[in-house]
Structures are given as C-alpha cells and as structure tokens.
Amino acid sequence: MSDQIKVMIVDDIAETREQLRKLLSFDPDVEVVAMASTGEEAIELVSSVDPDVILMDINLPGIDGIAATAEIIDILPTVQVIMLSVQGETDYMRRAMLAGARDYLTKPPGADELIDAIHRAFDLKQKLGTGPLGPLPTRNGDNAKPKVSPALKAKVVTVYSPKGGTGCTTIAVNLAMALQSMLGQGGKVCLVDGNLQFGDVSIFMKLQPARTLADLAPHAQDLDADLLETVVVTHDSGVKILVAPTSPEEAEVFHDSSIEESGANTRFRSILEFALPHFDYVIIDTAHQVDDVLLAALDLSDLFLVVTRPVIPEIRGARLFVELLDKLNYAFDKVGLVINGVDNKRMGIQPEAIERAMMPALAHIPMDERTALRSANLGEPVLVRGGRTGLGQGLVGLAQKVHNRVYTAPENAPEAEELDKRAGLGRLL
C-alpha cells in the first residue's frame, strides 16, 4: 500500500518505543518506518526516512523534543510532529507548539487517541502539500523556516456592528475560544483587536500585553515571524491575541502611511496578510464605523458576522450595513447575521421578524445579563466557566455554525435580490 502513513517514533526508553509501535500495529494504514532514541538520531534520520508523522517524546537526553522538533521541521517542513509528554506540562506544550509541533498527547496515550491524532496530522499534511501554496520549500535558505507553524491559510471571520454595545467583542472573544477548543491543542486561532482606538479585547481576556499592534504597524511591510511572535499574547485557552494599541493616540501609527486605492488601511492589511499563513482561524473584532481598517478586514474575510440586538435602531443599522456591503461588491454569501441578546420574555422584536426583514440568522444568542456582566467585570470570557449557561451554549453554537459555514458551501446564504424582496420590518426601518 503506497499511501500508508509513515510514522517515526522518537523516545529514549526502549519499552515505550515498543509499546507505541505495538499500538500502531493495529492500524493497517500506519507503518512505523523508523525509531530513534535521541533527538540527534531523529534529526540525522529524518531526511532519509521521510516520515509523514513523528511521535516525539518531549523529554529526551541531550537535545530535547522541542529543540529536535524545530530542527526537524527546518529540514522537512511538511512533517507533522505529535509531541508526547507526561501530564501537567502546559508551558512545555506551548513551547512545543511554537516549535512547530502539530499536536500534543499525554503519556501514555490511548490507542484510539493516538491513531486519531496520527490520521489528523496526516490529513493536514496532505492538505498542506496540495494547497494553493504547494508543498513548503525544503531547507535551502532562510525563508524555508516556518517559525510559528507550517503554512496554513487562515479562515478569516470579521465581527462587526454599526452600533457599539451590541456584543461584538463578547462574540469575537468567545468565538475564538470555542474554535480553539474545537480544533484542539494543535489548532491555531488568532484574535485580532481591530478596534484600534478603543479596543477592549485585552480587558475582556484580562491580558497585560507588553506589546500591541502599534508595535507591528511601522514594520507592517517587512514583518517576520519572530516579530509577530513577540507581539502576539497567548491566552490560557491557547488563543493568540494581537492586542489593540493602548490609547487612541497610539493607534495613529496606522495612519502614518497612505491608504490603498481600494480604501483599505495598508498597514492593517499587511499585518493580517502576514499573519494568515500562521493560523487556522483569524477572528477580527472591529470598531463601529465603516473605515479603512474595516475595509482591510473585510477584503480578507471569508465571513462577516453582522451583530444586532432585537431593537429597531440596531436592526436598521445592520440592514443598512448589509446593503452597503452589496454596493461595495462584497459577496453576499459571506454575510452571517447574528442576533444577540434575544429575550423571549421581554419586549424585543422577535428574531424571526428580523430574519424575514434581512436574512436567516446564523445564530440567536440569548440575553443573559448576569453571565455577561460577570464575565466582563472579571475579564473572564464567558466560555471559561459559563460554557453551560444559555449564553455559553449560544456562543458555542455560533462557533459550530461559523465552522460549518466557512468550510462548506453556505446553504442558507441569501441572494442579494432576496433582501430587496423581503418586506418584513421594512416599514419600521
């Protein structure tokens, strides 16, 4: 069978190597092509053996699993490394991911877990090899070194509402967390606070960033992975955040350069473009105006979430915005309506009426002042402890819809003409 998954095992303990090999012998799709007892040996073997997936022990005598991974990916950029470690080494885990490991398992892994991880890693390798970028270059120059991860192309989701206070930041933060947890430890989710003047993602997530997007802006045209890494802040959930400048004045650095002909902010756009290959998802929170920064975000987005609460002025704003998107020639099927703060007991407009006036919503998120307030005041995203609340469930449901929508054809996306035909709330707006 030519398309067997070639696996290499790296562990200093012979018994562990043997156990792993035995576990894998139950899967006919997997072939163990090499075993190594040190990082050095693995590095030496890797190019001749050309494995698809490497199971790497994190603690090795001599060069450790993390350093070995970085070296190996340098030699064979498409290889997928799954790091194995005893429990409770979260710091290690993060470093392993930064070194380019794809996944992380605790020792001893269960057979299913191990085999699943290998298949996942292999699928990803296949995708990378056949993606629009083609296979990654092998070592022969500096640009062959993927610092953060092998080349991906992030799906970009922008969260926007024409009015403030509708829940954009709440949604952006928790969407990023839910996607991160859906993708698992190997997933790479970046949350960008595109509300450059008054961004509050760092407050919502209780981050104390040493650096912000303002530090990247002057280098926007010549970014490198090291610089990106020093500015990105990692939340406990694993989500990586590009935090907004700390003051409105600092945000001015984004306007020191010319705006593109298309009207998009050059620096913001360049930063996003640079970040995309390093992540599976980039989620962008935004300010509540249509400006050059928003246009840059929209240009790169696979999905625009337009958030409204069930009150007339916000619905009207959302509808005007959707119409504007159409006028600006953005594809209509990229729009996803989110109705936030739905409260069946109160007087708000029925979500169904909003949908009739605009389009089917991707999600209805319930009103839950208690959970939302607590979360905002503690700087603890709802999904940290409120995953079981109605609000938490609504947010997780939204993440699932987003994931389905960007990875499959949108079955619910309305045509532009449909919007005109919808009378619904027309007379109210």
Region binding ligand ADP by CB under 6 A among candidate stretches 92-100, 125-133, 161-169, 271-279: 161-169
Based on the shown chain and the rule CB under 5 A, indicate whether residue 237 belongs to the binding site for Mg ion: no
CA distances from 397 to 115, 178, 338, 370 (A): 28, 9, 11, 20
Q: Which stretch binds ligand ADP (CB under 6 A): 16-24, 141-149, 321-329, 367-375?
A: 367-375
Residue with tokens 């928003």: 294
Least separation in angstroms between residue 166's CB and ligand ADP is 4
Select 151 or 339, whichever has its Cβ closest to Mg ion.
339
Listed in sequence order, the DSSP H helices in 329-389 are 351-357, 369-378, 382-385
Nearest residue to 357 via CA among 402, 308, 395, 409: 308
SS3 readout for 90-125: HHHHHHHHHHCCCEEEECCCCHHHHHHHHHHHHHHH
Length of the chain: 429
Which residue from 340, 349, 359, 361 is in contact with ligand ADP, where contact means CB under 6 A?
340
Q: Which of 357, 354, 332, 304 is nearest to 416 (CA)?
A: 332
Count of CB atoms situated within 10 Å of the CB of 173: 28
- Binder among 18, 113, 123, 369 for ligand ADP (CB under 6 A): 369
Q: Which does 149 bind (CB under 5 to 8 A by kind): ligand ADP, Mg ion, none?
A: none
Binding flags for ligand ADP, 167-186, as an x/- string (CB under 6 A):
xxxx----------------
User: Across-strand partners of 160?
Assistant: 306
When the beta carbons of 169 and 174 are compared against Mg ion, the nearer one is 169
- Cβ of residue 302: shortest distance to ligand ADP, in angstroms? 21
Q: Which amino acid is at 235?
A: H
Check residue 286 for interaction with ligand ADP (CB under 6 A): no
Work out how close the CB of 425 gets to Mg ion at its nearest, in angstroms, rounded to a whole number: 25
With CB cut-offs between 5 and 8 Å by kind, which of Mg ion, ligand ADP, none does residue 365 bind? Answer: ligand ADP
Q: Which does 398 bind (CB under 5 to 8 A by kind): Mg ion, ligand ADP, none?
A: none
**Interface region with ligand ADP, contact rule CB under 6 A, candidates 105-113, 131-139, 163-171, 415-423:** 163-171
Say whether residue 166 binds ligand ADP (CB under 6 A).
yes
Q: Are strands 233-234 and 240-242 parallel, antiparallel or unpaired?
A: antiparallel
Out of 357, 365, 396, 398, the only residue in the binding site for ligand ADP (CB under 6 A) is 365
DSSP state of 187: -
Binding at 369: pick from ligand ADP, Mg ion, none (beta carbon under 5-8 Å per type): ligand ADP
* Cβ-contact 230, 216 below 8 angstroms: no
Sign of CA dihedral 314, 319, 323, 329: positive
Contact window for ligand ADP (CB under 6 A) among 47-55, 184-192, 365-373, 412-420: 365-373
Binds ligand ADP (CB under 6 A): choice among 165, 184, 360, 426: 165
Is residue 2 packed enough to be buried (19+ CB in 10 Å), middle (13-18) or exposed (0-12)? exposed
Picked from ligand ADP, Mg ion, none, the partner binding residue 161 (CB below 5 to 8 A depending on kind) is: ligand ADP
Tokens coding 342:
């739905």
What torsion do the CA atoms of 136, 142, 143, 146 make, to the nearest 10 degrees? 60
Angle between helical axes of 90-99 and 65-75 (0-180°, round to 10): 10
Residue with tokens 């700390």: 246
Question: 298: which 2 tokens?
Answer: 């929209």
Tell me the per-residue interface mask from 161 to 190 with Mg ion, x by CB under 5 A, - otherwise.
-------xx---------------------
| Residue closer to Mg ion (CB basis): 170 or 266 | 170
User: In this chain, which stretch among 65-73, 259-267, 268-276, 364-372 interacts with ligand ADP, using CB under 6 A?
Assistant: 364-372
Residues that bind Mg ion (CB under 5 A): 168-169
Residues that bind ligand ADP (CB under 6 A): 161, 164-170, 340-341, 365, 367-369, 372-373, 376, 391
